[in-house]
Amino acid sequence: MAQIISIHSFRGGTGKSNLTANIAVAVASQGKRVGIVDTDIQSPGIHVIFGLDEDSFTHSLNDYLWGRCAIEETAYNLTPGLQTADGLANISGQVFLVPSSLKAGEIAKVLREGFDVGLLNDGFQELAEQLNLDYLFIDTHPGLNEETLLSIAISDGMVIILRPDRQDFLGTAVTLEVAQRLDVPEIMLLVNKVPQAFKRESVIEQVQARYGVTVGGLFQENEEMLQLASSGIFWLHYPEHPFSQEVHAVARQLMAEQ
Amino acid sequence: MADQSNMDDQNEWQLARHPSGKPPTRTMADLLFLPETERSLMNWLLRQQSATLAEVVAHLNQPEAMARNLLQELIDQGFMQVVESADEPEYRPKMAIRKGRKVPTNLWDALE
Ligand SMILES: Nc1ncnc2c1ncn2[C@@H]1O[C@H](COP(=O)(O)OP(=O)(O)OP(=O)(O)O)[C@@H](O)[C@H]1O
Ligand SMILES: [Mg+2]
- Model confidence at B69, in pLDDT bands (50, 70, 90)? very high
pLDDT at B112: 61
Q: Per-residue pLDDT for B13 more than 80?
A: no
Is the Cβ pair B98, A116 closer than 8 Å?
Answer: yes
Summarize chain A as % helix, strand, coil (round to 5).
45, 20, 35
More confident residue, A138 or B3: A138
Q: Which ligand is nearest to the CA of A219?
A: 1
pLDDT at B107: 63
Alpha-carbon distance values, A21 to A9, A24, A109, B43 (Å): 15, 5, 27, 27
In a domain, B4, yes or no: no
Domains detected in chain A: 3-256 (3.40.50.300)
Q: How far is residue A76's CA from residue A78's CA, in Å, rounded to a whole number?
A: 6
Residue B35, class by beta-carbon neighbours within 10 Å (0-12 exposed, 13-18 middle, 19+ buried)? exposed
Task: Give the nearest partner residue to B32 out of A115, A121, A181, using CB atoms.
Answer: A181
SS3 state at A32: coil
SS3 state at A228: helix
Q: How far is residue A160's CA from residue A8's CA, in Å, rounded to a whole number?
A: 5
Structural domain containing residue B58: 37-95
In a domain, B104, yes or no: no
pLDDT at B3: 44
- The answer to whether ipTM exceeds 0.90 is no
In a domain, B54, yes or no: yes
Residue A9 Cβ < 6 Å to ligand 1: yes
Q: At what angle do helices A146-153 and A166-181 cross, to 10 degrees?
A: 60
Nearest CA to ligand 1 atom 25: A12
Q: Are A216 and A257 in contact (CB under 8 A)?
A: no
pLDDT at B15: 64
pLDDT at B6: 46
SS3 state at A225: helix
In a domain, B24, yes or no: no
Residues of chain B contacting A178 with CB distance shorter than 8 Å:
32
- Within 32-71 of B, beta carbons closer than 8 Å to A belong to 32, 39-40, 43-44, 46-47, 49
Kindly give the confidence (pLDDT) of every residue in chain A, 258 residues in length, as a single tens digit, with 9 standing for 90 and above.
899 999 999 999 999 999 999 999 999 999 999 999 999 998 999 999 999 988 888 999 999 999 999 999 999 999 999 999 999 999 999 999 999 999 999 998 888 887 777 889 999 999 999 999 999 999 999 999 888 999 999 999 999 999 999 999 999 999 999 999 999 999 999 999 999 999 999 999 999 999 999 999 999 999 999 999 999 999 999 999 999 999 999 999 999 986
State the nearest Cα–Cα gap between B81 and chain A, in angstroms: 12
In a domain, B62, yes or no: yes
Residue A40 Cβ < 6 Å to ligand 1: yes
pLDDT at A198: 97
Q: How far is residue A122's CA from residue A187's CA, in Å, rounded to a whole number?
A: 23
Task: Give the nearest partner residue to A212 out of B2, B97, B112, using CB atoms.
Answer: B2
In a domain, B42, yes or no: yes
Q: What is the CATH number of the domain that holds B85?
A: 1.10.10.10
Number of domains in chain B: 1
Q: How far is residue A48's CA from residue A27's CA, in Å, rounded to a whole number?
A: 20
**Phi, psi for residue A4 in degrees, rounded to 5:** -100, 125
Q: Which ligand is nearest to the CA of A164?
A: 1
- Model confidence at B102, in pLDDT bands (50, 70, 90)? low
In a domain, B6, yes or no: no
Strand intervals (E) in chain A: 3-8, 33-38, 76-77, 83-84, 87-88, 94-98, 135-139, 157-162, 186-194, 215-220
Query: Closest Cα partner for A18 from A245, A204, A169, A231?
Result: A231
In a domain, B31, yes or no: no
Q: How far is residue A41's CA from residue A28's CA, in Å, rounded to a whole number?
A: 25
State the nearest Cα–Cα gap between B65 and chain A, in angstroms: 25
pLDDT at A192: 98
